[in-house]
Structure 1
Amino acid sequence: MGMIIAISGIAGVGKDYVADKLAKALPKSKKIAFADALRSELSDLNSYIEGTDDALYIESLYHVTGEQLDHLLALQHHNIYIYEGKRPCCYRDVMQYWGTDVRRKQNPTYWIDKTKDKIKELQREGISTVILTDARFANELAIADLTVRLEDTPDRIKHRLEKRDGGKIMTAKESSHPSETALNTADFDLIFHRNLVSTDSIINTIKSNIE
């Protein structure tokens, strides 16, 4: 049975950066995200939208209402983003809406189920440690063997977001969305304040807790 590590923290705290370092330090490990399945679904959905004018077919295929689909399209048309290449900073509200307000509302374990399937696939391929970079809800933490919370100062987080997203800062609506706040008071196995400890120290502490 493999090890699952879940990393949590608000946008800009450096979850992917730490996960990349951790994956390099652990043999037979792989970094994935709950949002991988979300991005894939939105990409496939956009392909259907571009390929057909039959809205009823798309609604039936994806088990959504016309109102939900219309709202998704309105959000996408409002934002200018690039799906591949430059990080899609303006895509956040689309992902929050579809991932939480639509899919999690339909089924709280929707993305967990898809991620569990991916984990099983990786384990069959010989991956022994899966690092989840974006745990945002309590039931997502629950599938992990070790839970890690990253914290940092507002100024350092703001600097990362400005550098990463081309100067665009999260709106108040985005930063107060449940996907950003649901775990603010949750219990974690390990909590690191990145302004106080080095990345190497974080990696070594995590390793000592699983070896």
Structure 2
Amino acid sequence: MTKLDDRYLIVGLTGRAGAGKDTAADVLCEAHQFYRFAFADPVRAEIMRAFGVDISVFGTDTKERKMDALAISRCTDPDFRMTVGKLGISSQAPRSPRQIMQWWGTEFRRAQNPRYWTNRAGDTLHEAMRRGFRRIVITDVRFRNEADFVRYHNGKVWEIKRATAETVPTNHQSESEIIHIEPDLIVDNNKSMTAFATAVMKAYRTSHA
């Protein structure tokens, strides 16, 4: 994997679900034309192909909604069906996009190769670099090897902190491992949207210095 040099600024965002990671990325993209992607982007792409669903099912308003279209029995990938079957999970019950993403990303692909998603992120990162982007934000750092990926490329890991997000139960490894990631910066999101945007821009200046 080719390491990026100091001409580039890579920011990886971590934090609990609902903390404001996507909003922080919105601020960076609007203010400083960051290239934005997520480790989960190829997860969604693979699920769309395997279940025959549209990208819209992963929207903010639908990702927690259980759907018949995402029942395990609807999946065309026999290896995924077998993997989830070993967990004792019903193949007929409706599932939410978040549930399928967690199982696909962790129990299925990461179990095959812990670097499965960081390898794909490396491809995306270097394609962005080839296209001329020098500021890149990754919106979903959930595992320590993902934080290591960011730092390998001279990047910084920011943790977005929001009190209401801390109260949500963590029922999956992709959420619970976040507590083991040591951030380079903490960005507070407990006040107004304006205050949060200001905090994001302050973190940008600190990381860019």
Q: How far did residue 21 of structure 1 move?
A: 0.7
RMSD over aligned CA atoms reads: 2.9
- Residues 12 and 157 in structure 2, CA contact (< 8 A), matched pair in contact too: yes
Using the alignment, how far apart are the partners of 1:196 and 1:26 within structure 2?
23
Which of 71, 80, 83 lines up with 1:68 in the alignment? 83
Normalized against structure 2, the TM-score is what?
Answer: 0.73
- Aligned pair 1:45/2:36, yes or no? no
Q: Which residue identity lines up with residue 178 of structure 2 in the other structure?
A: L
Q: Any stretches of 5+ residues in structure 2 without a counterpart?
A: 54-68
Using the alignment, how far apart are the partners of 2:93 and 2:86 within structure 1?
11
Q: Any stretches of 5+ residues in structure 1 without a counterpart?
A: 81-89, 159-169
Report what 1:87 is aligned to: none
Report what 1:201 is aligned to: 198
Q: How far did residue 76 of structure 1 move?
A: 7.7
Residue 75 and residue 26 in structure 1: after superposition, are their counterparts in 2 closer, same or farther (change >3 A)? farther
Q: How far did residue 8 of structure 1 move?
A: 0.4
- Residues 4 and 143 in structure 1, CA contact (< 8 A), matched pair in contact too: no
Matching of residues 1-16 of structure 1 within 5 Å: 1=4, 2-16=8-22
Q: How far did residue 120 of structure 1 move?
A: 0.9
Report what 1:86 is aligned to: none
Q: How far did residue 45 of structure 1 move?
A: 1.5
- Residues 83 and 107 in structure 2, CA contact (< 8 A), matched pair in contact too: no
Using the alignment, how far apart are the partners of 1:184 and 1:190 within structure 2?
14
CA shift digits 1:68-100 (9 cap, x unpaired): 26579x7785336xxxxxxxxx21111111101
Q: Which residue identity lines up with residue 157 of structure 2 in the other structure?
A: T
Residue 66 and residue 153 in structure 1: after superposition, are their counterparts in 2 closer, same or farther (change >3 A)? closer
- Residues 85 and 91 in structure 2, CA contact (< 8 A), matched pair in contact too: no
**SS of the residue 1:93 aligns to:** helix
Question: Which stretch of structure 1 is more off in the superposition, 182-191 or 36-45?
Answer: 182-191
Percent identity between the two aligned chains: 27
